[in-house]
A and B are shown apart, each in its own frame.
Chain A
Amino acid sequence: MPPLIGPVSLVAVASGPGLVSYNTLVVLGGVATVGFAAGVVGSLALLRKRPLVGDAAAHATLAGVAAAFLATGRRDLPALLGGALVAAVAALAVLVLIRRVARTRDDAATAVVIGVSFGIGLALLAGITARGIPGSGGLEQFLLGHTAALTAGDARLLAAVSLAAVAIVALGFKEAVVLCFDPQFAAATGWPVGLLDLVLVALVAVMVVVGLPAAGAVLVTALVVIPPVAARQWTDRAGPLLVTAGVIGLTAAVTGVVVTASRPGLSTGPVIVLAAALICGVSFLVAPRRGVIAQWLARVRRERRWARGDLSAWDLADADEAVPLPLPAVSHVAAVPLRGADGK
């Protein structure tokens, strides 16, 4: 786990000694916690084969933020995030409704909800801005994320909710793994699969909302998607996967806060996502066994042995045992199902 001291001292260097206020440290800690929790919760979404379930919810949050501002007339983070949560849940509910009553394909339904809900948010936001409603400045920071404006109180709230989410996952870890690995078995053993799925989706929605101030509505999905994908490269066990994803999310979040602290024009979201993407790319390449390089080396070694007539890589008594990785064949673009699809 990368020590927190490093980035913190970086902040000190970047902004000059004496300028690292208590507030900055609390915000850093809060956003780091959000990054960790997003990685943990996102891992479960990935294992449940619904990595992008939060995307529709994420795009809808903007409308919730704008509506909450119109309702309260203040830029009060808890209220705005409350509105965002309502909107996120509403978007997911509409998605479920469309699946029930319309014969629109799942992916198209998701795209419809993403596009239209974001459009509502943008129209509300632009309307508020155009009317110059007092106190509305800075609402657009929820688009791409901006941590500089966060107060220590805000950060504590984000951290508390994130820790609660992590605690729920820790408590129900056993149930979550059975659900994700073998839902049929889980149902037959008497676990309420529908309820567990609902809790999982709710956790993702909460993480999307909590991640909003740091990563913004457009990119917050990445906070839930990329760290688990990167972490999967490094481990073959579910528990370590969750922790690794959390640490990667934390690292990316801290990087985002530190870098944007020194470049005021830059939004936090894109930087966090780029940091996570970098870690992910490196993981794809160099991870042991699953990494591209490791697989390439293994193949070269195997082929060299075969060329020497040494077939010991194959245990002939149990020939089909030595399959290294169950790689599905490259399917054609036409079959690329993105997002949603929710395991039907």
Chain B
Amino acid sequence: MASDASLTVHAWAMATAAMVSASCGLVGGLLVVRRMSLLGDAIAHAVLPGIAVAVLAGGSLGGPAVFAGAVAAALATVWLTQAIHAGVGLAEDAGAGVVFTSLFALGVVIVTLAASRIDLDPECVLFGILELAAFDRVRVGGLLVPRAFVTAVVVFLGVAGGLAASWRWQVFTAFDPAAARAAGIPVGLVTSLLLAATAVAAVAGFEAVGAVLVVAMLVVPAATAELLVQRMHWLVVVAVGVAIAAACGGYALAWRWNTSAAGMIAVVLGGCYAVAVLMAPGDGILARAIARLRLEWRVAREDCLARIWRACEAEGRDAAHVGDPQTWLERMAGLWLERRGVVRRKNGCVTLSDHGRREAEMVVRSHRLWEAWLGRHAELPIDHLHPPAEWLEHHVGAAMRDQIEAELSAGQVDPHGRTIPPEAAG
């Protein structure tokens, strides 16, 4: 029975964390693409004095007064930073550094001095009060629901509604503020709306995980999503997904290991980001390593074939003596080609199969076409043609080769006077 009750408590806390995290992830998508990540951090710190003053004036945590105070403090941060920038010419990053640390310090002092009169203290400012959230309940439609959860749902709906209503404008502004302004979009208003949404999400986050870790909730899901998808709306969807998953996972781990849920949520978010950096399709470390390896393998194979082909051309017959390969990868490629029967050894000489010859001809063709093209169009001196062609030959498809040939119009001969092999049939 007792464990059932505790299970309910934890379930509600986890649900609250997920809702809060989702709100932050939603806002974070826009913050990250607009390079405002650290402004999000600044706002998360700077809302504290707003909250503290509102609570001191009789507002309750999660009440409208607190949200109003937080939004005011957030806008004040941005306004102050810009005023300092305009007033005394201070760079905006330094200005923001001054403003948000000062406001946060002010908030902490207020909270400390008034700790006896308000239900906020420096401890919950830093750690959040997620674990206690489930105990303060209100009745919603016959069900006892934690107040914090209700707040989190309202915040999520509010933030989602506000951003959805201005979505096209938000994306346009994020992509190109100057063009958006020229197109008649009220860029200032759109940005203020985003800042307000950030402040509202930050207040919800602040209650759950504390002022400092809000930045993790705001930025990490979006930074993770950005590595995984290309389109803006998918970015937001994935960010919200990551945010919810990390909140649940982090809470569960914290419960299991008996530590701070706020801290563990940030840790799990960090884990998600690390996995994305490693495994992201296309741009992940792993994907790039594989692509690079495949490219180098292909280059080694092609170089190997082309070397044999050129040696044959020089000796004027089908088989030739070929020097040792220059890299270990090329050596491997040679062995591999031999095993596949593309390259054959005959009493110290090397020869190519029909298939191998066709492939080698295409590489040599690319190389010589490039030399001819570069010599004619780029006006590079003749002794400088080989290195760029050597570098370009592996990056040319049949279509590009045809195009170059068409542009060259005259001659099947490269600048050194050697024949350019014709395109393979089929």
Contact = CB atoms under 8 A, between A and B. Distances in A.
Q: A–B direct touch, CB within 8 Å, in complex? A: yes
Interface of A: 46, 49, 51-52, 55, 59, 98, 101-105, 107-112, 114-116, 118-127, 130-131, 140, 143-144, 218-219, 221-222, 225-226, 229, 232-233, 265-267, 269-271, 273-274, 276-277, 280, 284, 287, 290-292, 295, 325-328, 330-341
Given A111-B223, A266-B109, 12 more contacts: A104-B226, A107-B35, A111-B215, A115-B217, A131-B258, A218-B212, A233-B88, A277-B98, A280-B98, A333-B39, A334-B177, A338-B96
B102 A274 contact: yes
Contacts of A126: 127, 254, 259-260, 263
19 contacts: A51-B91, A51-B97, A98-B277, A103-B283, A111-B40, A112-B270, A114-B41, A116-B267, A119-B216, A126-B263, A225-B101, A284-B87, A287-B88, A328-B85, A330-B82, A334-B36, A335-B177, A336-B81, A338-B42
B263 A107 contact: no
Nearest to A230: B98
B92 A119 contact: no
A122 to B, nearest CB: 3
A52 to B, nearest CB: 5
A115 B215 contact: yes
Given A127-B257, A273-B105, A339-B97, A291 B264 contact: no
A51 to B, nearest CB: 4
A74 B226 CA distance: 42
B203 to A, nearest CB: 17
Nearest to B226: A104
B267 A107 contact: no
Interface string B241-256: 0000000000000100
Contacts of B93: 51-52, 337-341
**Interface SS of A by simple majority:** helix
A266 B227 CA distance: 43
Contacts of A108: 32, 35, 37, 219, 222-223, 226
Nearest to B262: A122
Q: Which interface residue of A111, A118, A290 has the most chain B CB atoms within 10 A?
A: A111
A115 B38 contact: no
Given A104-B223, A110-B37, A116-B220, A274 B92 contact: no
Contacts of B216: 111-112, 114-116, 118-119
B309 interface: no
A115 B272 CA distance: 13
**Interface SS of B by simple majority:** helix
B92 A337 contact: yes
B173 interface: yes
A277 to B, nearest CB: 4
A114 to B, nearest CB: 6
Contacts of B37: 105, 107-108, 110-111, 338
Contacts of B363: none
Contact of B273 (A112, A232, A339): A112
A327 B97 contact: no
B102 A120 contact: no
Contact of B105 (A219, A326, A337): A219
A335 B86 CA distance: 14
Contact of A144 (B85, B122, B283): B122
Nearest to B195: A333
Contact of B38 (A226, A267, A338): A338
A102 B97 CA distance: 26
Given A52-B97, A280-B98, A333-B82, A120 B91 contact: no
A144 B122 CA distance: 9
B108 interface: yes
A51 B263 CA distance: 27
Contact of B269 (A116, A144, A271): A116
Contact of A334 (B34, B213, B269, B277): B34
Nearest to B271: A116
B94 A284 contact: no
B346 to A, nearest CB: 47
Contacts of A109: 223
Nearest to A226: B98
A222 B254 CA distance: 31
Nearest to A272: B105
Given A51-B93, A118-B266, A222-B97, A127 B259 contact: yes
A130 B92 contact: no
Contacts of B223: 104, 108-109, 111-112
